[in-house]
Structure 1
Amino acid sequence: MLLAVVLASALFLCSSASQGCFTSIGIRNVVYLINNLQKDTSSKCSCSTDVTDCLCLPISSGNCSTACFQEGLSQMSNSTVNARFHLTVNQVKKIVVTLKRNKCGSFACEQPCNRTTTGNTLTFLKTLLESFQNENMRGKV
């Protein structure tokens, strides 16, 4: 898996020079995280109850969710629950930063995180995946 992450990182860096809004590797990495974290009960916990063993991440209700994605990915990378996926989470974090820097679609906003709700790790990742997929479709139009 480490080799796959290193190769994906190299591909991303090479392609990001020519395509500033490249999301395919981000999509692949988020799908990988979702598939592997579905087996982890702490990733599927309920954030609606007051629990201490659940990683509840910010979910933006508006069109500007970049800051929430950055905040949530930072929380994930600092979490010991997801230590096994640290490299993948950090790569996704870098992709979000690159998309913001290159002013790509919905990632171009500069507003702070409008944290109207929180979600567990899987909900957060599914929201991020949807944003990556939307950006990917924008690039193909």
Structure 2
Amino acid sequence: MTERTRRSLLAAAGSVAAVPLAGCADAILPGGGDDEDNGSDEEPVDRTGEETVDVAVGGDGGLSFVPANVVVDAGTTVVWEWTGVGGTHDVVARDGTFESDLSGTEGYTFERAFEEPGVYEYVCTPHQTRGMVGSVEVVE
């Protein structure tokens, strides 16, 4: 193998190895980053009166939760379902109270019952700096 061929092969291998990490280059741990970017620029969707609320993970082009912000009654279960768009996502509470696995698989779900009133902010850790954030407001 010539020196030029080896260099080309090594350069190509390095490019391929970097591709899976491309979506993670701007990842920040929950609670980090710009606290003003908490999904609050989207009005909350009232889902009170429902036992289960669905949120799409990777909706609207792949880098958002749809709806991003919901208001639910205490005792409601929120089910996040991956669309398979936008790469690998997760759902992680900024306060550490819940966390899904990373997945890019369409149909993968994560759910959590919200019993206590309050506002629960969450992010997709690989994409939070791109605005992939949301919240669940739990009311009595």
TM range, normalised to the smaller chain? under 0.3
TM-score (norm 2): 0.28
Larger Rg: 2
More strand by share: 2
TM-score (norm 1): 0.28
